């Protein structure tokens, strides 16, 4: 659920970025972050860490103390349900759904039974020229591998606490 406050903050963050005249990629280069993470910060989908705040303020000089402080609070990570209708988002979703089973099989083959984390996760978007000379979009998902655990009762802490005398 997006609040009016979040919408207002995101609008003001977008205005500050626009005043900087910089792209997400340029801000990322100045801050040491990925371009997608910079976008997540400015959309209040990620939390600004104290060590990164000075770098971001230098990259986007019009960020006020109020905006920086709001960015340092844990965000309400959400998305508007209509976002899937945006063609770029729809195509990304379609690509993941289309290639998902094959990606899952390769993850299992290379790593074992598990998944890719979306918490310990890096994402970037890059522009390259293909062999045909045309622009191509490269989306990189770089997530920690998380193996599924065998659910053994002797490892279940809550059960052990209940059985203790």
> Of 66, 94, 105, 136, which residue is the catalytic one?
94
For residue 67, which of 26, 8, 27, 20 has the smallest C-alpha distance?
A: 8
Longest C-alpha distance within the chain, in Å? 72
Helices 4-20 and 65-72, axial angle in degrees (round to 10):
120
The residue to which tokens 């103390």 are assigned: 65
Residue 77: how many CB atoms within 10 A of its CB?
A: 11
User: Catalytic annotation on 154?
Assistant: no
CB 121 within 8 A of CB 143: yes
Pairwise CA distance, residues 31 & 25, whole Å: 10
Pairwise CA distance, residues 31 & 29, whole Å: 6
For residue 36, which of 143, 140, 144, 145 has the smallest C-alpha distance?
A: 140
User: Catalytic annotation on 105?
Assistant: no
> Of 8, 23, 78, 117, which residue is the catalytic one?
117
User: Catalytic annotation on 91?
Assistant: yes
Q: Which residues are catalytic?
A: 91, 94, 117
């Amino acid at each position: 659920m997006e609040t009016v406050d979040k919408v207002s903050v995101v609008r003001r963050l977008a205005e500050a970025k626009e005043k900087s005249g910089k792209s997400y990629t340029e801000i990322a280069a100045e801050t040491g972050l990925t371009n997608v993470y910079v976008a997540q910060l400015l959309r209040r989908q990620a939390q600004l860490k104290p060590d990164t705040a000075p770098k971001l303020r230098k990259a986007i000089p019009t960020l006020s103390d109020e905006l920086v402080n709001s960015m340092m609070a844990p965000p309400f990570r959400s998305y508007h349900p209509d976002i899937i209708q945006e063609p770029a988002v729809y195509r990304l979703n379609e690509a993941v759904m289309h290639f998902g089973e094959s990606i899952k099989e390769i993850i299992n083959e290379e790593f074992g039974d598990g998944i890719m984390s979306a918490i310990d996760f890096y994402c970037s978007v890059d522009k390259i020229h293909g062999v045909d000379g045309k622009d191509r979009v490269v989306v990189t998902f770089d997530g920690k591998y998380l193996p599924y655990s065998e659910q053994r009762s002797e490892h279940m802490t809550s059960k052990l606490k209940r059985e203790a005398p």
